[in-house]
Amino acid sequence: DTAVSQTPKYLVTQMGNDKSIKCEQNLGHDTMYWYKQDSKKFLKIMFSYNNKELIINETVPNRFSPKSPDKAHLNLHINSLELGDSAVYFCASSHGTSGGEETQYFGPGTRLLVL
Amino acid sequence: AQKVTQAQTEISVVEKEDVTLDCVYETRDTTYYLFWYKQPPSGELVFLIRRNSFDEQNEISGRYSWNFQKSTSSFNFTITASQVVDSAVYFCALSGGFGGGKLIFGQGTELSVKP
């Protein structure tokens, strides 16, 4: 009964490749997010979608493109991977965005290693 | 600017000791929300508590308690009678009307509880 799931859990790839991470939530939430956790464990938001519409787009390179086919899914596609993209990527979801009062529930994370 | 500071990078205690994790935040919003998340060694992010800016009542949940003080912009977390299973990285986070629901995380405090 996983609430927020991500695939794959681990991703090892070469520089320059293109890769995707998938996220699905079965909580019936309207809003989904992508966060990046760097090697120092610092967590920073990248994107959020509310009902398939982009709400937040932080200063993330254009090589990162989120796609939300429906409100239960938010995928992250990364083009031309660079060494600095190595991190743990977390998907999260919440009921809404409003004023930020909704609790965000996180997936297990995808550990990306770019060689 | 919105900011969360967890000044304690690492804390090490012996089992059964009480430990307090500090969190100081900055925001210009009058309505905002504070959160604590736990990240155990397995890597997932586990929601612990949410507090809104209008509710300064302390909260207790088992061995966990939280002290919210607007006067000092702090939202501290205390674990009573710590256990080895409490070993994790703990994150304090802030959200509010400023960002469409995005969470601003502190740097995290790594707690190590030794037997």
3-class secondary-structure state, position A88: strand
Residue A111 has pLDDT above 80, yes or no: yes
Please write the tens of the pLDDT for every residue from B99-114. Answer: 667 899 999 999 999 9
Cα–Cα dist A45/A60, whole Å = 9
What is the biggest distance separating any 2 CA atoms in chain B, rounded to whole angstroms?
Answer: 43
Residue B57 has a pLDDT of 85
- Interchain CB distance below 8 Å, A109 and B43: yes
Residues A43-97 pLDDT 10s = 999 999 888 888 888 888 999 999 999 989 999 999 999 999 999 999 999 986 6
Measured between alpha carbons, how far is A39 from A44 in angstroms, rounded to an integer? Answer: 12
Report the DSSP pairing between strands B10-14 and B109-114.
Answer: parallel
* CA B108 to each of CA A37, A40, B5, B43, B67: distance values in angstroms, whole numbers, following the listed order: 11, 9, 8, 13, 17
**Mean per-residue pLDDT, A15-26:** 97
What are B48-95's pLDDT values in tens digits? 999 999 988 888 999 999 999 999 999 999 999 999 999 999 999 999
What confidence tier does A99 reach under pLDDT thresholds 50, 70, 90?
Answer: low
State chain A's mean pLDDT as an integer.
92
Contacts of A113 (CB under 8 A, 6+ apart): A10, A11, A12, A13, A86
Is residue B97 predicted with pLDDT exceeding 80?
no
CB contact under 8 A, B102 and A56: yes
The alpha-carbon gap from B115 to the nearest alpha carbon of chain A, in Å, equals: 25
Mean pLDDT over the full length of chain B: 94
CA B44 to chain CA centroid, nearest Å: 16
pLDDT of residue B21: 98
Residue of B102, B107, B111 best to disrupt the A interface, most CBs of A under 10 A: B102
Q: Is A71 left (phi over 0), alpha (psi -120 to 50) or beta?
A: alpha
Rounded Cα distance between A7 and A43, Å, is 19
C-alpha B55/C-alpha B77 separation (Å) is 16
Q: State residue A53's pLDDT score.
A: 85
Task: With beta carbons less than 8 A apart as the criterion, state whether B8 and B77 touch.
Answer: no
The 3-state secondary structure of B12-62 reads EEECCCCEEECCEEECCCCCEEEEEEEECCCCCCEEEEEEECCCCCCEEEC
B89/A98 CB distance under 8 A:
no
Looking at residue A97, its pLDDT comes to 61
Which residues in chain B have their CB less than 8 angstroms from residue A105's CB?
Answer: 47
Can you tell me the distance from the alpha carbon of B113 to that of B43, in angstroms, rounded to the nearest whole number? 17
Chain A and chain B share a number of CB contacts under 8 A equal to 79
Q: Please give the structure tokens belonging to residue A95.
A: 């009921």
Q: Please answer yes or no on whether B101 and A40 come within 8 Å at the CB atom.
A: no
